[in-house]
Amino acid sequence: MRLVPLTLLERLADQAPLQPFDERGEKRPVQLEELHLSGPMDAFAGEPLHRPPFTFEDEPRPVNNYGRTKVAGEAAVRAACARSYIIRTSWVYGSGKNSFLCTVHDDLNAGRKVRAIDDIWSSTTYVDDLIDRVMAIHATGRHGIYHVVNQGVCTYHEFALEAGRLLGLTRVQTDALIEITHERDMKRVAPRPRYTPLRCLLSEQLGLPAMRDWRAALAAFVKDRPSSV
């Protein structure tokens, strides 16, 4: 299992080590690149429901201050460094985190009840797939805005149901462990976008293969993750 961002930076350094001098011992001109990870995608309004996935061609329309800082951060990166890779991602899970997406499998496996929201949809991203795709993007040398997520869209509730299925639980068993909650009832101070799946047009233009479906990515995570039970 790999962690972000340290492992990603280490792998980028291994792939393109800094060589300040050429073979004649003369100093090379410095051409800096910047890699900026941006997400989750509160930069988009998330309406209407079930619209096509957002691409870099869609104008960001953040609905809260968090999203506005994401948009401002991306603009600052582009202004500071033309040779930049802006990686937008969403709902990232993997080792080293203690979020719902990272732990729901262990909770269900242990028979612990969980709460899962069923009225917000987005793309999910397995961190191993995120690292591999960012490495592939960097290897192309094509700077720009990339949407790096696993294929498909789901709610937290659907993600939990799939985790239960992968454990071999019946739907009845899984339903008994999941308390469905609704974002619309949360009464949060800041609104959250409801529907923010992503699609990477730039990767498609470069001929990079589609990332695997979110269910296949979750299955790989569950298989590789040592159980805490």
Burial of 30 (0-12, 13-18, 19+ CB in 10 A): exposed
Q: What is the pLDDT of residue 217?
A: 98
Q: Which of 169, 189, 190, 191 is nearest to 178 (CA)?
A: 169
- Rounded CA-CA distance 25/86 in Å is 34
Would the CA dihedral through 129, 209, 162, 184 be positive or negative?
Answer: positive
114: tokens are 């969980």
Tell which residue, 106, 117, 133, 152, has the closest CA to residue 2.
Answer: 133
Q: Check residue 1 and give its pLDDT.
A: 36
State residue 187's pLDDT score. Answer: 83
Rounded to a whole number of angstroms, the distance between the first and last alpha carbons of the chain is 18
**CA distances in angstroms from 218 to 134, 159, 221, listed in the order given:** 19, 9, 5
Tell me the pTM: 0.85
Q: What is the pLDDT along the chain (229 residues), one digit of tens a residue?
A: 344 444 554 554 454 444 545 567 665 554 678 899 887 667 787 788 889 999 999 998 888 888 899 899 999 999 999 899 999 999 999 987 889 999 999 999 999 999 999 999 999 999 999 999 999 999 999 999 999 999 999 999 999 999 999 999 999 999 999 999 999 898 888 888 899 999 999 999 999 999 999 999 999 999 987 655 5
What is the rounded CA–CA span in Å between residue 56 and residue 147? Answer: 7
Of 66, 126, 146, 195, which one is the catalytic site residue?
Answer: 66
Q: What is the pLDDT of residue 149?
A: 97
Q: SS3 helix, strand, coil % of the chain, rounded to 5? A: 40, 15, 45
Catalytic annotation present for 66 = yes
pLDDT of residue 151: 97
Residues 6+ apart with CB under 8 A from 50: 195
How many angstroms separate the most distant Cα atoms in the chain?
A: 71
For residue 18, the model assigns a pLDDT of 44
Check residue 186 and give its pLDDT.
86
User: Hey, which CATH number is domain 6-224, 3.30.70.420, 3.40.50.2020, 3.90.550.10, 3.40.50.720?
Assistant: 3.40.50.720
Helices (DSSP H) in 81-155: which residue ranges?
100-109, 127-140
